[in-house]
Homo-oligomer: A and B are copies of this chain.
Amino acid sequence: MAPTVEAGAEALLPAPPRGPLHEYRARASFNWRQLALFWDGEDMLRFKKSVFSALEGDPLFARSPGAALPLERYRELTFLRCKRVFEYNFLGAEDLLQSPLKVLALVHCLGMYDWSLAAKCLLHLLIFGSAVYNSGSERHFKYLQQIFSMEIFGCFALTELSHGSNTKAIRTTAHYDPATQEFIIHSPDFEAAKFWVGNMGKTATHAVVFAQLHTPDGRGHGLHSFVVQIRDPKTLLPMPGVMVGDIGRKLGQNGLDNGFAMFHKVRIPREDLLNRTGDVTPEGAYITPFKDVRQRFGASLGGLSWGRISIMGMAVVNLKLAVSIALRFSATRRQFGPTEEEEVPVLEYQVQQWRLLPYLAAAYALDHFSKSLFLDLVQLQQGLLGGDRSALQAELGREIHAVASGGKPLASWTAQRGIQECREACGGHGYLAVNRLGVLRDDNDPNCTYEGDNHVLLQQTSSFLLGLLRPAAPDGARFRSPLKTLDFLEAYPGILRQRFTGSAADWLDSAAPLAAYKWLVCYLLRESQQKLLQERASGRGDFAARSNCQVYHCRSLALAFMELTVVQRFHTYTHDAGVPTPLRAVLRRLSALYALWSLSQHTALLYRGGYFSGEQAGRSVEGAILDLCSQLKDDAVALVDVIAPPDFILDSPIGRADGELYRNLWGSVLQGRGVLERPSWWAEFSTRKPDPGGLRSKL
């Protein structure tokens, strides 16, 4: 049946059940197993399968479709499941260091099941654990063992009620008292309460707390982090002086307990300062390997790229799940047709293809991007651990920081919009909780906000790009780009003279939109630079000048650059000689569709700057997008089969692999609690009739 796929693949990737989706599957231009093996690799597929199977086979992970668990119960279940994940120990401690992609895959597998669970595990083990490991020193390693054994449970407390993005304005203080060799952690008022901290609401016993460090000589040394015990692990009652609680229900991820804490002169041992970037001697002297506060601050907030790249991956997972649901629905939902007797699947409509297929392409393109960028970051980290302090390493760090800062907004917004489109594309059934699109949207939403508000982050990317235009160094080298994201800038500003001279057919490959993107980014770079110079020349201070350049300049520049970077990587990947011949056509179509659809948001600028002229250029882009959609629609179900998790994990009646849309939905609805029962308060209807207007006199 699949001669090009090695033996054993059928056991690893069993055939989807026959049913209404068979028609589309039979029309696919490629073998879905071959793509799955090419995309993920057999080892990774096996690993994911082992995780999924464990969850599906364990009653603790049983689904309660469509139900809104009471908050307390949901929190409890999430905690119990977190413990169970530790017991499964899907990855050994050695894997944590040696198989970084598997760590990522485990987070994604848990997230596909439920983001509250994934977040709970991640915050304790990777965020709290890494903070201790990376910001502390040997004297803190005792905590690592306690983290692994769950003797303590951790959280990461940076944000305060009144400050998030502006971390320098954090107001919690840590005064050192040499008499007792302790730090006194204090919240000056409730606006400085730690707030939003995941795991802090009900479960964390320890927190990495960021506070302004003061030494007895009266000097402030800026933000440092401390391990602070906030609850007694025996009783889960708060420690003296700590007021800790739950911030309440959020739009999503309610299995996770986000919390707040106020510290009333809480004393902690001197050794609990995480002292990688600065320490206090027993006598109270401040010592640091860094020359100035800014440099130290930068280093202490260093590992931000990890968070941002992780969030990109989470957003991509959500997008994959949503398009899987919406495309299987669209291939089986029939509505209207050429005659009153014959209805066609809504996927046959051009509008439905155009609404969904670009997001399917985006899921593939961004999945490739986030995974490959993650590996770049791993490489950076390995260099750092190996003691590489070269200029190239520093440039790699800056480049990754810029790309991670812009990639998070691009991925989280693409997912947010894509999930909403999927919800609407499923009509009313998309609005039913049991079909999961709402949960995906709500759980994805914070990806737009945490680890840096998207708009704030984009400024990191645009500032990086604008910085490259500064006068060349004496040796003539303007910049190096270890990730090659900046290579196109070699041609700047000459590239601005380029014009689109191709034909409509050229748009069917991603090379054409890639060339257009290079021109576009150079155009926006020039526009942004000129605008910034103008603003500064008009006498505004740097703060106002920068603020006034964001909307149509720096913001657009950062987004266009990120799209270019994603398009470039996916183009290179899909045009690589290593792609098996039977998969080339479909992967290149995905690459072209993502590239062109993204580019089409910028058509106005392409015309305005002269890259496009005449009506035909714009028309040909539109035509090519629709052509690519039409070419991909028969592959859509098979492409979903490659990225969709098992039905138990996907957890959506309208998105099940058998395509039995109505049977699955009907079955789920009938499983609702008390679905056919009259309400407990029925007597309110029948016995106490309202007295119409009876209260009118009260108005």
Contacts from A to B (Cβ < 8 Å): 50, 53-54, 66-68, 70-72, 75-76, 79-80, 83-84, 86-90, 92, 148-151, 153, 159, 161-166, 168-169, 190-191, 193, 195-196, 202-203, 231, 233-238, 243-252, 260, 334-338, 340, 343, 348-351, 354-355, 416, 420, 423-424, 427-428, 430-434, 437-438, 442, 445-446, 448-450, 453-455, 541, 543-544, 547-548, 550-552, 555, 603-610, 612, 615, 617-619, 622, 626, 662, 665-666, 668-670, 672, 674-676, 678-682, 684-686, 688-696, 698-699
Contacts and interface: CB of A to CB of B under 8 A. Distances in A.
Nearest to A205: B685
B433 A249 contact: yes
B433 A164 contact: no
Contact of A682 (B236, B354, B430, B555): B236
A164 B682 contact: no
A47 B551 CA distance: 42
Nearest to A348: B547
A686 B246 contact: no
A419 B408 CA distance: 21
Contact of A678 (B202, B243, B672): B202
Contact of A428 (B252, B340, B446): B446
Contact of A237 (B88, B678, B681): B678
A79 B449 contact: no
Contacts of A607: 604, 607-608, 612, 618
Nearest to A67: B249
B338 A699 contact: no
A81 to B, nearest CB: 11
Contact of A438 (B153, B190, B442, B551): B442
Given A72-B680, A248-B433, A165 B335 contact: yes
Copies in the complex: 2
A248 B434 contact: yes
Nearest to A88: B695
A434 B89 CA distance: 37
A492 to B, nearest CB: 18
A424 B454 contact: yes
A249 B434 contact: yes
A199 B180 CA distance: 67
A684 B75 CA distance: 12
A79 B681 contact: yes
Nearest to A351: B550
Given A66-B249, A250-B432, A543 B698 contact: no
Contact of A685 (B233, B423, B428): B233
5 contacts: A87-B691, A150-B692, A161-B665, A247-B672, A551-B622
